[in-house]
Amino acid sequence: MTLSRQSLEILVDLVEIKVSLFQVQDRDDVREHSKIRKCRQELLLELDQLASKKKKKVIKLADLSAKKSRRPSYLAH
């Protein structure tokens, strides 16, 4: 299942809020805090991958339109 960019951004915001409000008091809290930070990193990685996929699609579409606009040399005047 893939999440939309908007959903990923919302999740990152929620995780960042939780990290900022988290108060570590014992070892269990340290573990939980580490898990939350790791979750944030994974969400950010997903956002980066989603952004890079969109960039590749835009480049491919631009390449296709450039190829279609080229005229064969025998038609050039």
| Mean local confidence (pLDDT), 64-75 | 58
Domain assignments of the chain as residue spans, ordered by start: 5-68
Position 41 confidence tier, pLDDT thresholds 50, 70, 90: very high
- Predicted local distance difference test score (pLDDT) of residue 53: 82
| Mean local confidence (pLDDT), 37-51 | 94
- Predicted local distance difference test score (pLDDT) of residue 40: 96
Closest CA relative to residue 19, chosen from 1, 34, 2, 3? 34
Q: In this structure, is the dihedral angle defined by the CA atoms of residues 23, 26, 30 and 35, taken in order, positive or negative?
A: negative
